[in-house]
Amino acid sequence: MNGTKAEISAIAEFLKKGPLNPETEVVVGCPQCYLAYSRETVPANIGIAAQNCYKAAKGAFTGEISPGMIKDLGCEWVILGHSERRNVFGESDELISEKIGFALSEGLKVIPCFGEQLAERESGRTQEVVFAQLAAMKPNISDWSRVVLAYEPVWAIGTGKTATPEQAQEVHAQLRQWLRENVSEEVANTTRIIYGGSVTAGTCKELASQPDIDGFLVGGASLKPDFVAIINAKEEENENDRERENEREKMKERKRKRERKRKRKREKTKEKERENERERERKRKRKREKTKEKERENERERERKRKRKNERERDKTKEKQKMTEKERENEREREREKTKERERENERERKRK
């Protein structure tokens, strides 16, 4: 509960002066009596959020404000379930969930707040408490694209105790995993989860470097010009990210060049091996051809030998045949001589008689 018109004008001045990171969405939450003045005074590119609203459009709810009234003043955001609403005014998880659901149904964008108190933190019940608060909200959240979750560890607000960036990141990572398991992968990846544990210009940069911290719910520091540094914390981190990304790209490019060089070397080696293999294959082919030619020549030689042998055999056979015929002729001649001799003998014998 802070602010006067003069103070709001001073805040508007340092916001106008900036400069503000154009990639960071800035929303200023102010008391309901100053919503109209804030909307008129603060730059148009900065959103205005009411710090509370009720779960009904109208009725006997003295002191409350409805989503329609907020929209009628040109504002489109509302913060619900802030730690003081829970712990000072006793708002329950169920009431906050109903208010979230009604605000969304009336077209507002909602920043639901939740977080554990010191005793819950020290007793190790952080996960149990924040998961129960999320589970109570879930049934009434109809459009996650119009919801920015704000985790605010109550024990780190005005107690002198501070959450380290690692502690904050641990809870944010658990919250994102809860969304993944209980809503959807898409909602887990796209829903912004901002941190609200006494963020200052001195702590914002290290907090902004955590992968699951998407922004901040800033308290007292938002009333001072240091708020500009908090708004731009992510820009510096983004610049660092870009530098790291550029360095990674350079390293990747160097790696790709080395890989291309190794690939060309491997290709040359493979081509040389293929050429060597082709040369070996040509040698083997020539050797096979020579072997085949030698075998053919040997076969031709064997064939010539067979022919010569066959010719000799034929000659021998012919010679033998010739000799046999001559012998037969001689035999016949002898037979004839013998016959003649017998005939002469017989003739002589007849003459003697």
Nearest-CA neighbor of 174 among 233, 123, 115? 115
Catalytic member of 76, 98, 116, 152: 152
**What CA–CA distance (Å, rounded) separates 265 from 127?**
55
- Residue 353 Cα to chain centre, angstroms: 145
Show Cβ contacts of residue 86 under 8 Å, excluding neighbours closer than 6 positions.
96, 113
Complete edge-to-edge strand list for the sheet that includes strand 149-151 = 27-30, 47-50, 77-80, 109-114, 149-151, 193-195
β-bridge partners, 80: 112
Note if 82 is an active site residue: yes
Catalytic member of 76, 82, 116, 237: 82
Active site members: 82, 152
